[in-house]
Amino acid sequence: HAKNESDGKVNFNNVTDLQISTGDNAFERTETIKIQRIELNGKWITSQQLYLMLLLTWCGIIIIHGIVAVLGLRLSVRSANLKTVELENLNQFLNIEKNKYESMAKVDPLTKAFNRAGVRDVLDLAANQFEKNGTVCSVIMFDIDHFKQVNDHFGHDAGDEVLINLVECLNQISRQNDCLARWGGEEFVMICPNTPFEMAIKLAEKYRSTIADAPLFEQQITCSFGVAALTSAGIT
């Protein structure tokens, strides 16, 4: 739909359709068509549609950003919770190990009875109760008779066996609130809270006779006892 101008040129400014056709008697030849410019005029979308698209795009970007931020925050919270749980587990483990080593420091490794460090807390508690409430406390001290002869004649392993068997025997017959400790070597001490002097003497005699009759070793094992009590009248 081109038109001829006055100079004989063809005006293609208002071409809306382009169609190439040949006649019935056309013969084969080569033609060259050169298109310098193609312009498409007109509105594809309205301004309202453009603004709506921009608005929806911005809203989509904001929503996506919000979702990404929430997911990132959830991951951070989850990671923080995991670290908190790990720290709590580590803290619990350290407390267990701390209590374990504190207990080991207060227990005689051979006999599993308290050592001096372990029985010191019991003595401090008994002293505090005596100062506050006047609660009496008795202490039974004893050592194994002729223990050096056992080591010399039978060896130190035999001596260790005697110490272990002695503690096991006393643990079976001692009262629940009493505290047995290895003071050093073959010397032992039994802390008896809320126990008058006369009762402590009876307990000491019970322990003495039980040890003498118990099969702690291939020969008889005996112990010598001493009793002291903290009362309102002083140390007895």
* Helix 156-173 vs helix 147-154: crossing angle, to nearest 10: 140
User: Pairing mode, if any, of strands 137-144 and 187-193?
Assistant: antiparallel
Distance CA 236, CA 229 (A): 5
CB-based burial label for 210 (10 Å; 0-12, 13-18, 19+): middle
Positive or negative torsion for Cα 221, 154, 163, 197: positive
Alpha helices by DSSP H, the chain: 47-105, 116-133, 147-154, 156-173, 197-213
186 a catalytic residue: yes
Catalytic residue among 186, 187, 205, 218: 186
Distance CA 89, CA 84 (A): 9
Q: Write out the two tokens for 132.
A: 């506050």
- The neighbour count for residue 186, using CB atoms within 10 Å, is 20
The residues annotated with a catalytic role in the active site are 186
